């Protein structure tokens, strides 16, 4: 007879535990292998990358690529800042739009709500590349070409639909009785949202913010390449493209710059992982 307080992993048979950990190991291998190989490439001298036979483990460990990359692409620091700035602004816009929108879909029953939600899903089916021409005409009409906004506006537009779906699902788990209790005390809808719902929905909001930041950080290449021609506004993906020379690709410096470039995302995740785990596991345990 199993104890209710006994760890869940102890309730499996040995063969099931072995299979579970083997599956996790295989999954982690395929997920982490490219990152490990990329990091090892960044530690190899360029000549060693083309040696025969190829060696995954560097014969000579060197961090020179982490120093030389700043010389090879002098504006690399600016590119990293641009990516961080664009992603931050996109995240702020998305959160500001999504919070009241998700609250409305979670609490109000109005005509066309289901149709709008279906429309949000339909928008997510379109890649940014499919809409480049109409987006270019729109950016040109609004005078946003060659500005930060040319990458911020479409970035936010493509991330809002999925964010509304995610936060709406989270807010629907918050009991409606809390809203009703606030209304009995004379609170308005806005006051209820600000003082009752937002504190309870904060883990979900943080999850949306993190997902939005990562999404905005990852999708900048195509928008920057199409809507911007000024070097001072180029984000990190364009800066990495500069390592592709006419004669050769500086692979070790490219990998080094890639790892340095993702540091802002890693820092955000590390500092907010407590909220991320809380938001992703909300509702997983029956109260």
Domain extents in the chain? 8-67, 72-280
Distance from C-alpha of 104 to C-alpha of 210, rounded to nearest angstrom: 22
42 CA to centre of own chain: 24
- Residue 16: the pLDDT is 80
Distance from C-alpha of 257 to C-alpha of 237, rounded to nearest angstrom: 10
pLDDT band at 276 (very low <50, low <70, confident <90, very high): low
Distance from C-alpha of 152 to C-alpha of 74, rounded to nearest angstrom: 24
- Kindly state the average pLDDT of the residues 175-204: 85
CB 284 within 8 A of CB 211: no
The tens digit of pLDDT for each residue in 88-124 reads 999 999 999 999 999 988 888 877 778 888 887 887 7
- Residue 177: the pLDDT is 86
Distance from C-alpha of 77 to C-alpha of 236, rounded to nearest angstrom: 9
The larger pLDDT score, comparing residue 13 to residue 133, is at: 133
CA 228-83-259 angle, to 5 degrees, is 125
Q: Is the pLDDT of residue 6 over 70?
A: no
- Residue 87: the pLDDT is 93
- Kindly state the average pLDDT of the residues 36-48: 88
- Kindly state the average pLDDT of the residues 180-207: 85
Please give the share of the chain, as a percent, with pLDDT higher than 90.
Answer: 26
Distance from C-alpha of 257 to C-alpha of 249, rounded to nearest angstrom: 13
Residue 87 region by backbone torsions, left for phi larger than 0, else alpha for psi between -120 and 50, else beta:
alpha
Q: Is the pLDDT of residue 260 over 60?
A: yes
CB 171 within 8 A of CB 197: yes
Global confidence as pTM:
0.82
Q: Is the pLDDT of residue 73 over 60?
A: yes
Ordered DSSP codes for 46-60:
HHHHT-SS--SS-SS
Distance from C-alpha of 202 to C-alpha of 197, rounded to nearest angstrom: 8
Question: What residues contact 221, with CB distance under 8 A and at least 6 apart?
Answer: 235, 237, 238, 241
CB 94 within 8 A of CB 212: yes
CB 178 within 8 A of CB 200: yes
pLDDT band at 173 (very low <50, low <70, confident <90, very high): confident
CATH topology for 72-280?
MetI-like fold (1.10.3720)
Across the chain, mean pLDDT equals: 84
- Residue 278: the pLDDT is 61
Q: Is the pLDDT of residue 233 over 60?
A: yes
Question: What residues contact 204, with CB distance under 8 A and at least 6 apart?
Answer: 166, 167, 170, 171, 279, 282
- Residue 9: the pLDDT is 55
163 CA to centre of own chain: 11
CB 48 within 8 A of CB 60: yes
Burial of 222 (0-12, 13-18, 19+ CB in 10 A): middle
Distance from C-alpha of 164 to C-alpha of 286, rounded to nearest angstrom: 24
The larger pLDDT score, comparing residue 242 to residue 168, is at: 168
Distance from C-alpha of 272 to C-alpha of 264, rounded to nearest angstrom: 12
């Amino acid at each position: 007879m199993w104890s209710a307080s006994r760890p869940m992993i102890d309730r499996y048979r040995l063969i099931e535990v072995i299979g579970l950990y083997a599956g996790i190991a295989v999954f982690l291998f395929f997920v982490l292998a490219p990152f490990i190989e990329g990091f090892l490439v960044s530690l190899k001298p360029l000549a060693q990358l083309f040696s025969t036979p190829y060696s995954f483990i560097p014969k000579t460990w060197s961090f020179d690529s982490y120093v030389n990359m700043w010389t090879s692409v002098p504006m690399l620091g600016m590119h990293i800042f641009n990516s961080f700035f664009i992603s931050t602004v996109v995240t702020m816009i998305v959160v500001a739009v999504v919070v009241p929108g998700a609250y409305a879909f979670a609490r109000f029953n109005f005509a066309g709500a289901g149709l709008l939600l279906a429309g949000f899903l339909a928008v997510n089916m379109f890649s940014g590349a499919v809409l480049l021409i109409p987006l270019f005409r729109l950016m040109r009409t609004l005078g946003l070409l060659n500005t930060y906004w040319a990458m911020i506006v479409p970035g936010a537009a493509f991330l809002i639909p999925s964010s509304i779906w995610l936060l709406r699902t989270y807010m629907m788990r918050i009991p409606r009785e809390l809203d009703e209790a606030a209304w009995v005390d004379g609170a308005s809808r806005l006051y209820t949202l600000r003082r009752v719902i937002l504190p309870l929905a904060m883990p979900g909001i943080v999850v949306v913010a993190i997902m939005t930041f990562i999404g905005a950080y990852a999708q900048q290449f195509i928008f920057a390449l199409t809507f911007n021609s000024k070097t001072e506004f180029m984000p990190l993906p364009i800066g990495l493209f500069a390592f592709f020379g006419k004669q050769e690709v500086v692979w070790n410096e490219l990998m080094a710059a890639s790892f340095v470039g993702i540091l802002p995302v890693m820092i955000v995740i590390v500092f907010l992982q407590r909220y991320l785990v809380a938001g992703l596991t909300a509702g997983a345990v029956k109260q």
